[in-house]
Amino acid sequence: MKKLAGLTVFLCVFTMLLVPVTVKAAEPYNLGVALGLTGAGALYSADGVEGIKLAVEEINAKGGFLGQHKVELFIRDSQTKPDVGVREVKDLILRDKIKAVINDYSSAVAMAVKPIAQEYKVLHIASISNSENITKINPSPYTFQVVPNSYMQGKASAVAVAKIANQKGWKEYITIASDYEWGRSTQDEVVKVLKALAPNLTLKKEFWPRLGEAQFTSYITGIMAMKPDFVFGILASNDNVAWMEQAKTYGFFDKIPYPGSLITVTELQLQAKTLPRNMIALTRAPFFAHMDIPMMADFVKNYRAKYNKYPSDWAVLCYDAVYTLKQGVEKAKSIDTEKVKDAMKGMTVDLTRGKLTFRTIDNQLSCSSYVGTITDDPRYPFPIYKDIVEVKGSESERPESEILEARKAK
Amino acid sequence: MDITSLFTQFLSGLTYGTILFLVAAGLSLIFGVMNILNFAHAALWLMGAYFSYTFWNLMQEHSFAFWLSIPLAGFAAAAVGWFLEVVLIKRIYKRELHEQLLITYSVALILSDTIKLTWGVTNKLIVRPEMIRKPVFIFGAPLDSYFIFVIIAGAAVAIGLWWFLKYTRYGHIVKAAVYSREMVAALGIPIPRIYTWVFTLGIFLAGFAGGIQAPIGSITLGMDNAIIIQAFCVVVIGGFGSLLGTLVGSLIVGEVMSFTILFWPEGAMVLIFVITAAILIVRPWGLFGTPMRT
């Protein structure tokens, strides 16, 4: 009898062992991407998506966030329009249950999306759009910016230009800036900084071509007729390409110094044959400035292997956006959005551009801007910057007191 | 401001006006003859620019690639236009204007997505031959050397269309159809076939204009959004269906834009819309159009 009981117990235990154990898979991390894949932002956004896809592939190859939460990507086209951006992000939140969204090319879209992300408690990472108003005014604890903002870029550029203006004795200048949030806010900051650092300079005229302008001829001839000592350009993406191509055919750059223009790695590659050399320009995240950092060197290697080209600033920034999120999750030890949001406040992150810290006051990453001279380099099939001046975030950020004042005035 | 600077700005307005004329000529022709307000016209213009890039890209080792790609873009766009007319536009001749607008706007959206799927989202750049990369100086005023070709092409299109309308049998039929399509039909002339060819010719002009635009800057998605509004302003000012009106309207818009940018940069587009609105109120058929229509 005892033997029978023992056999029964053995069989029961054996049978239990045979029952397949079902392990519940860890919850995936749904990551939304809403970038301007069409419209004025298409050129930069396409590269951004490539950077995001590569980062997600790398992270998922190691099991996902915290080694267990696979990252699932949901990519939408904001068409670089605020109403479309808001609609798409809402849909991502309600339908695809995203926990975070990387958005947008256009600052106007990012600012329209910011309150939506806050309302639905979704993390919002601005990786291309860089108006400082995204984080300065009406701050949201859910919105983080990993790109140098318009104030930082304007100041970095203006500092360099003011030095040159003082050296060369320039007296009058003209600005030409895209007529939308980023163009307006950057121009405003540049003018203020130039006034402070080069008080002898006079702003002769302001030109505001609309976003998406394809015909710059009248602006070019108009500016040339006014004969300023230099022109400060604040044009981006397709507008910048059109401007550069058309201005060049008028011999504009041979006649009028044009420092401080945003010429990113996209333009360096796209206009490799035609871009005027020795022009002093500005950019946000050039990979060649940080090839000494292992994360950047690996990223460039993997990006080239996957896409057969060098990464633009936008690919770098969007890649960094995903790794920022990863490190936020790791610090929080959870994918819970509230915990990640709290963990990211003031967090220091290891990115392709080095070890950088988010400012507590505005969730702006204290990252660098880069000013340099466009020059050919035998290592690359396009010109790069030489004599790079890396203006650190700490040197170009708006003082916290001014931010508090602006918020109070609002 | 010296006289050379003013002349430079005049040349700038002339080139801009010529580009607008090339876009608006087809739009005006199609509306004048067929009474179709084609909102997809600028999308076909953009498609012409992309076609031009493709032809140039395929033949770029040949010296003629740059020049040949421009008319080829016109023919490729015309083929698309012919297909659209036969399949879709033919069915909406008798619809209300607002329905036509909605349908042609839908076509514009479909074409934009087709462009995106076919050519991708990255900008396309046509590298100009060495001889037209530098400016030329006319009485000391700088001018992009390519714009000499643009102005000649614009003049050739204007003269060619004028000659076609004035001296050819088909031209006479087209002109007659502007005034009374019923009378033309009563004479045994197959109006549907005439419409198909007029639409195809209009889209050829759009594609040709797109090909001409392509080497001016980079070819980008969304370029068509702004130009369609300005092209409508041109035909409203000049008068729908009037070739001379389109030419004069284009030059007015080009020169007003150019000189306003010089003296009042913020108001450049505003002034164009004010002129357009004023024409609509005072003379709704435009400067050279005709109020008669049966």
Q: What does the pLDDT read at residue A157? A: 83
Distance to chain B for A367, nearest Cα, Å: 27
State whether A218 and B12 contact (CB < 8 Å): yes
Nearest residue, CB atoms, B221 vs list A42, A206, A271: A42
- Report the C-alpha gap between B22 and B18 in whole angstroms: 6
Residues of B in contact with A269 (CB under 8 A): none
Res A23 pLDDT > 70 = no
Q: Which residues pair with A348 in a beta bridge?
A: A357
**Nearest 5 degrees, angle CA A183-CA A186-CA A188?**
105
- Encode pLDDT of B34-67 as tens digits: 888 889 999 999 999 999 999 999 998 888 999 9
Task: Return d(Cα B81, Cα B88) in angstroms, integer.
Answer: 10
Structure confidence at residue A13 (pLDDT): 53
Determine contact, residues A174/A228, Cβ cutoff 8 Å: yes
Q: What is the dihedral of CA B53, B54, B57, B58, to 10 degrees?
A: -150
Q: Give the up-direction half-sphere exposure of residue A323: CA atoms within 13 A in the CB hemisphere.
A: 23
B125 CA: distance to closest CA in chain A (Å)? 8
A162 membership: H or E segment, kind and range: helix A150-168
pLDDT of A22 reads 46
pLDDT-based confidence at residue B183 (cuts at 50, 70, 90): confident
Least CB-CB distance to B135: which of A42, A215, A250? Answer: A250
Amino acid found at A100: A
Whether residue A24 has pLDDT greater than 70: no
Share of chain B above pLDDT 90, in %: 51
B146 vs A: CB within 8 A:
yes
Which residues of chain B make contact with A242, given a CB cutoff of 8 A?
216-218, 220
pLDDT range class, residue B294, cuts 50, 70, 90: very low
Query: Cα–Cα distance between A190 and A187 in angstroms, integer?
Result: 5
- Give the C-alpha separation, A407 to A111, whole Å: 16
The pLDDT score that the predictor gives to residue B11 is 92
Say which residue, A4 or B162, is predicted with more confidence: B162
**What ipTM does this complex have?**
0.78
The yes-or-no verdict on residue A20 having pLDDT over 50 is no
Q: Which of B12, B114, B146, B224 to mutate to test binding with chain A, by most A CBs within 10 Å of its CB? A: B12
Provide the 10 A C-beta neighbour count for residue B84: 21
For residue range B89-141, list pLDDT tens digits in order. 988 887 888 888 899 999 999 999 999 899 987 778 888 888 888 888 888 88
Per-residue pLDDT reduced to its tens digit, A274-320 = 888 878 888 999 999 999 999 999 999 999 999 999 999 999 999 99
Q: What is the crossing angle of helices A313-332 and A337-344, to 10°?
A: 110
What pLDDT does B37 receive?
Answer: 85
Of B128, B227, B258, the CB nearest to A218: B258
Higher pLDDT, A279 or B88: B88
Quick one: pLDDT band at residue A8, thresholds 50, 70, 90? low
Residue A56 CA to residue B50 CA, distance in Å, equals 33
User: Cis omega (within 30 of 0) on the bond before A104?
Assistant: yes
**If pLDDT is split at 50, 70 and 90, which confidence band does A57 have?**
very high
For residue A21, the model assigns a pLDDT of: 45
Residue B287's CB is within 10 A of a number of other CB atoms, namely 16
Q: Which of A19-33, A124-138, A285-299, B16-30 has the highest mean pLDDT?
A: A285-299
**Residue A372, helix vs strand vs coil:** strand
pLDDT at A3 over 80: no
> Which is more confident, B160 or A179?
B160
With beta carbons under 8 A apart, name residues in chain B contacting A219.
Answer: 261, 265
Write the residue in B12, B121, B123 that is nearest to A217 by C-beta.
B12
Chain A nearest C-alpha distance from B143 (Å): 6
Burial of B167 (0-12, 13-18, 19+ CB in 10 A): exposed
Tokens of B147: 């714009």
Contact A220 B133 (CB under 8 A): no
Q: Which residue has the higher pLDDT, B59 or A260?
A: B59
* Distances from the Cα of B68 to the Cα of A226, B51, B74, angstroms: 38, 12, 10
Asked if residues A78 and A85 have their Cβ atoms less than 8 Å apart, the reply is: yes
Asked if residues A211 and A240 have their Cβ atoms less than 8 Å apart, the reply is no
Average pLDDT in the B230-241 region?
Answer: 89
What CA–CA distances, in Å, run from A120 to A65, A90, A141, A272, A291? 22, 9, 12, 44, 39
Output b/e per residue, A184-219; b: 16+ Cβ within 10 A.
bbbbbbbbebbeebbeebebbbebbbebbbbbbbbb
Interface probe for B, chosen from A176, A249, A270, A314 (most Cβ of B below 10 Å), is A249
CB A299 within 8 A of CB A352: yes
